[in-house]
Structure formats: C-alpha cells, structure tokens
Structure 1
Amino acid sequence: MKQNGSDPAGGTGTIARYSLHDAIVGRLRDMIIEGELTPGERIYEGPLCEKLGVSRTPLREALRFLASEGLVELTPNRGASVRRFSARDVEDMLVVIRAMEELAGRLVCEQASDEEIAELRILHDTMLEHYRAGNRLEYYKTNQLIHITLVRLSHNESLIQAHAGLHSRLKRIRFIGHSGPEKWAAAVAEHQEMIDALEARDCHALIDALGRHLANAWLRVKDQV
C-alpha cells in the first residue's frame, strides 16, 4: 500500500499504514456525516478500497465497527449499507438525548470542578474558531465533543454509556442540523447560552438552554430527514 504522509483521518489521498483501523473508521465516518455516502446507499467494497488505498480485510473491520455505532447496516448476502433512519426514529432519539443531556447538565452544575468546567470553555472557544473560519466539519466535530464531554463530566457511567449509543447514531443528522447560515448561527448562539449558564453554575438556565437547543435540533432537521 502506498504511503504518502497524508493525514490518516482526513484529506483525499490514500491512508498511511499507521493507525490503519482508526484512520479507515474516521474517513468512512466523515464520508457518512458529510453525505458522501448517503443513507440507504450500498457500500461497494472494491471501489471504496481503491479510493482509500486499503485492502478488503481492514475495510470490513472498519465497517463492522461502524455497524456497532449504528451508522452502517450489515445484511447477509448483500453486504454493507449506510443506515437509514425514519423521521420518527430521529425524533424519538432526540427526545431521549435531550432528557439525558438535561440530566447531565444538572449533575455537572452540581458536582463538576472549576477545572472541568474550564475544559468545556476551551472546547467552546475552539468551536467558535471553526465557526468563524467557516470550517463546518471541524466545527461539527468540536460541537459534538462538547456534548460528549458534558455527559462524561456527569461521572455517571450508566448515563455515559447510554448516551454514547444514541449519540453515535445521530452523527449525520446532527451535522445537517446547522446547514445554512441562519441555522448555524442559531446553534452557535444556543451553545453560548449553555456555556454562560454552566460557568455561572445556573442549573435551571443550563437545563433550559440544553432543552431548547435539542428541541431546536429536531426542528432544524425534520424537513431533511
């Protein structure tokens, strides 16, 4: 396999040999999130192996991993396809995610150290840098890391694991939720309210901001599901 020193998780060149599994998983996940591989689309191994510069064995391992995340479906005698969710599926998952993150927000407000809250501020400021630069994919990744970190800082392992399972299935949906300048600006403003409430340890304001943010997430995507 050719090695060209490219970023193992991004770019358009072939994938370097180091961290091969993570690199393939990351590239395929990005292709699904950005819509290069569309919901319901069958994934043909041959062309994809050629595109990524990898063999079938690591590609299949990566597809199995993405199936465990809920992004890919594996069908006997048919192979892999990008998982398609109905509008009802998406709305139901967002309702549960909203309840989980509201609970996490309350726990973080009550229990998190100043250093942990500062960790979220750093992520928020990084997200704003990507927003100002118009880098939608990196903005999205940092945005989602904020939500994951908020739940992680609840230090409730049952909540963390349950949230991770649903969160992974909604990656593409959450990405399209800020398509267009008005939706994107609204999502940024909601995140600003969230970090302000968290730094003030205003539990009610944080839960309200999280609830509106995730309710609006459905409104921003429902016409595109």
Structure 2
Amino acid sequence: MTRPAHIVRHSLHESLVAPLRDMIVQGELRPGEKVPEERLCAHFGVSRTPIREALKVLAAEGVLQILPHRGAIVARITEEQVEELFPIMASLEALAGTLACRNATDAQIAQVRALHDQMMAHYRAGDEPAYLKLNRRIHDATFELAGNATLASFYQQVLTRIHACRFVMRKSPEHWRQAVAEHEQMIAALEARDGPGLSKLLEQHVTGTTAGIAREFIARENAAEGAGHRQGTGTAGAAGPDIALPIPARRAVGRPRKIPAE
C-alpha cells in the first residue's frame, strides 16, 4: 500500500528545536550562558540524545555555539552581526508596516493600541521586563497584521539571531526614552493607516535606536567579560556545571508558543 503523501513524520529532536529556539528568543536562555542540558531533559521529559541533536540544529543556525568539552553556549551577538542583520530586520519591519496599514482591520489596530497603552504604563512604572515583553508583542503583531506568512517567517529567522539585542537586554534611560517616543509616533502612523510614514519610522527605529542599544549591550558584555578575565573568574559562558536557570513548568514538545496580540 502506498503511503499518503501528506503524512509527515518528525523525529523527537526536530520537535524540540522550535521550543528550544523560543526559549532563547524569550530570554529564558541568555547569551553567553551554558545550556543546562540536564534541566532541559527534565523539563521536556526526554533523554540527552534528542536534546543534543536539537542543539546541533540551533548551532547550525548560529543561535548556539558547541564547544569541545564544554557543551553548548548561547551565542553572543557581535558588532559585525549588528551591521549585517539590523538592516535586514529594518527592511522586513518597514515592509510589514506598509502591509499592516493596508490590510489590518480597525479592530486589529485597536488591539495594537491596547498593547501600546499597556506598554506605556509599564514604562511609567519603570518596569522594564514587562515593557520589553509588550514591546515584543507589538512588533510581532505588526507582522501578524501584515498578513504575509513568508515575511513573518523571515522575521522570525532574523529575530532568533538578534534575540538579546531586541527584547531581552536592558536599556539606558536615554535610549529607553527615545524608543518610547518612537513607539508613540509608530502607533499614531498605524492608526492613521499611513503606510509610507510607518515604514520609514520602523526602519529608522531599527537602524537607529535599536541598533544603538545593541551596540551599547555588546560594549557592556565585552567590558564584563574583560573584568571577569582580569579577576580570573571567567564569564557566564565558561566551562563549568549547568547554570541554575529558572526554567518554568514542563512545556509540551511541539509547536512554539505564539505570543498573542490581545
């Protein structure tokens, strides 16, 4: 009997790739830190073999580094990657803004406004982690409103490479104020359905403020690494036991979590 062409079988390690990638993008696994294989095995209820095979896939994507006798380390972004990847991200976001203004319903735009208002409340309260989560959801929502699955897929691929420099790292007060002011302009352009205006704002936001924040982040990381070496303590990514990551309750292996645009 001929097997139907639509049946697709995935190995266990293939099912682990997406949720592991999502943990990196969400900041649950941070740049420079050793991937805690034992904790991940317990978290997903699997042995080390599929975990390690999944980590190899992520290493091929450039998300991780696998070092001899040390295991997998979450990759740090470099200045060269900022110069290469942020212009690509800017172009993707600019196109998403144009399409969102054209394709979104009034109700969808109202949902993004609600997310923006929540984000602003966190900014006024000085709650940066909560602010960053809403920031990520707003940018994701722009791609959802664009209605182009291929564009959204490219966005997620690039985002995975620059995860820490978008929605995880802490900002200086000056950069934070600037980012907030730009978001105020962007939501106004979306509500006005000003596609060219929103496109330009998003491109400037990514190549200007966000890239500047990324460079600041890299400088801090390099300074901390240098201080660690001078003190003889190494860095967070140095060889040693698995870090005590606060991994949440066991997550089902399968499709990555979708961040809703409420």
TM-score by length of 1: 0.73
Q: State the 1:79 CA deviation.
A: 2.2
Matching of residues 176-191 of structure 1 within 5 Å: 179-191=171-183
Distance 1:182 1:159, change over 3 A: same
Distance 1:43 1:29 in 2: 14
2:115 equivalent in structure 1: 123
Residues 158, 31 of structure 1: alpha-carbon distance in 2 compared, 3 angstrom cutoff? closer
Alignment counterpart, residue 218 of structure 1, candidates 208, 211, 217: 211
Partner of 1:84: 76
CA contact (8 A) 2:102 2:193 kept: yes
Q: What code does the residue aligned with 2:27 have?
A: D
* Residue in 1 that maps onto 2:140: 148
In structure 2, the CA distance between the partners of 1:55 and 1:103, relative to structure 1 (3 Å rule), is: closer
Who is 2:230 aligned against?
none
Say whether residues 1:95 and 2:87 are aligned partners.
yes
Instruction: Provide the rounded CA distance (Å) in 2 between the counterparts of 1:159 and 1:90.
Output: 20
Q: What percent of counterpart residues are identical? A: 32
Farther off after superposition, 189-198 or 136-145: 136-145
Query: What per-residue deviation string (whole Å, max 9, x for no partner) do you get for residues 106-145 of structure 1?
Result: 1111121111111211111111121122221121111011
2:27 corresponds in structure 1 to 30
The code of the aligned residue for 1:67 comes to L
Aligned to 1:158: 150
Q: What letter corresponds to residue 127 of structure 1 in structure 2? A: M
The unaligned stretches of length 5 or more in structure 2 are 1-17, 219-262
Look at both structures and tell me which one has the larger radius of gyration over its CA atoms.
2
Q: Does 1:208 align with 2:200?
A: yes
The equivalent residue for 1:72 is 64
TM-score, normalized by length of structure 2? Answer: 0.63
Q: What is the CA RMSD across the aligned residues, in angstroms?
A: 3.3
Distance 1:91 1:118 in 2: 34
